[in-house]
Amino acid sequence: YEIYGAPILGRNDKLRGIVLVFHDITELKNLEQVRKDFVANVSHELKTPVTSLKGFAETLLGGAMKDEKASAQFLEIIWKESDRLQHLIHDLLELSKIEQQHFHLNRQVINLSHIAKETTELLQPKAEEKNIALQIDTKNTVHIIGDNARLKQILINLINNAIVYTPEGGVVKLEISKQANEAVLTVQDTGIGIPESELPRIFERFYRVNKDRSRNSGGTGLGLAIVKHLTEAHDGVIQLESEEGEGTTFILTFPIYVETKD
Ligand code: ADP
């Protein structure tokens, strides 16, 4: 608590009482802590790849360049780390844009099946690399009001995760359906799943179940935070069900758009 006090004076400046104002600043303090943690996390996440880039470049300059095999190996690492750094900077800028109060969505009528098809086509090669069957069920035509590019971004992040966290030979399935007044979009995988104890924190910025595994797969730990923000910006809700070793299902619901004729 922050406490402010002020005297109440009567005639002849005689003290008649005191006003005390107790200001509950728990919420403010929490926000301040979240902000501090975020800055610390960002610094750490940026420092790690830069340190590694510098180290490998120095090693090459220090003589390793003469060894062709070592050079190829180090350059590969340098490329991978700079690629991750680029993703990280991109995701950070995205997140800060999306979190702005005046973040603007380019709203139009969207056929969810179209977006789902386009996104699966985009990620098909990545799925094939791991021999993962990327399936899509778009029997239903469902429209919502939304931002084409942002909705695609949601799907790309979710499908990309599903592919990354599913072992070779698995299945990633997309489904679009209607339920009462809601459009329901599910992304289901047969992957490693998420332990129940980790579920409450999964949408936090930089939160990962396994940092090393996420890093090695090019992850930034910001993907789901972006997905949650964008879903909520569309008046949607995101939920998930997961079973370790069995798979994970993300379920997104949006208000459905029904054409009205005047
Ligand atoms: P990352 O860039 O690390 O994938 P995300 O914010 O996209 O960051 O996801 C946060 C964490 O949630 C991941 O590090 C991973 O541990 C877990 N996760 C996300 N999607 C899945 C999934 N489909 N299956 C299993 N774990 C997942």
- Cα 55 from Cα 60, distance rounded (Å): 9
pLDDT score for 261: 61
- Cα 242 from Cα 240, distance rounded (Å): 7
More confident residue, 40 or 165: 165
Q: Which atom of ligand 1 is nearest to the CA of 220?
A: 2
Residue with CA nearest ligand 1 atom 19: 161
More confident residue, 228 or 210: 228
pLDDT above 80 (res 74) = yes
Is 208's C-beta closer than 6 angstroms to any atom of ligand 1? yes
Write the ipTM: 0.98
Banded pLDDT at 117 (limits 50, 70, 90): very high
Is 224's C-beta closer than 6 angstroms to any atom of ligand 1? yes
Both tokens assigned to 91: 């995701």
Burial class (CB in 10 A: 0-12, 13-18, 19+), 226: buried
Banded pLDDT at 262 (limits 50, 70, 90): low
Output the CA 62–ligand 1 centroid distance in Å.
38
pLDDT score for 110: 96
Q: Which atom of ligand 1 is nearest to the CA of 225?
A: 6
The interaxial angle of helices 68-99 and 223-233, nearest 10 deg, is 30
Output the CA 10–ligand 1 centroid distance in Å.
64
Both tokens assigned to 258: 């029904």
Is 161's C-beta closer than 6 angstroms to any atom of ligand 1? yes
Q: What is the mean pLDDT of residues 217-223?
A: 84
Contact 201/162 with Cβ under 8 angstroms?
no
pLDDT above 90 (res 51) = yes
Residue with CA nearest ligand 1 atom 20: 161
Output the CA 71–ligand 1 centroid distance in Å.
32
Output the CA 15–ligand 1 centroid distance in Å.
62
- Cα 19 from Cα 5, distance rounded (Å): 6
Both tokens assigned to 146: 């939304």
Q: Which atom of ligand 1 is nearest to the CA of 162?
A: 23
Which of 220, 225, 218, 223 has its CA nearest to residue 204? 225
More confident residue, 213 or 207: 207
Is 247's C-beta closer than 6 angstroms to any atom of ligand 1? no
How does DSSP assign the chain, residue by residue? -EEEEEEEE-GGG-EEEEEEEEE--HHHHHHHHHHHHHHHHHHHHHHHHHHHHHHHHHHHHTTGGGSHHHHHHHHHHHHHHHHHHHHHHHHHHHHHHHHSTT----EEEEEHHHHHHHHHHHHHHHHHHTT-EEEEE--S--EEEEEHHHHHHHHHHHHHHHHHTS-TT-EEEEEEEEETTEEEEEEEE-S----GGGGGGTTSTT--S-HHHHHHTT--S-HHHHHHHHHHHTT-EEEEEEETTTEEEEEEEEEPP-----
The interaxial angle of helices 26-61 and 68-99, nearest 10 deg, is 160
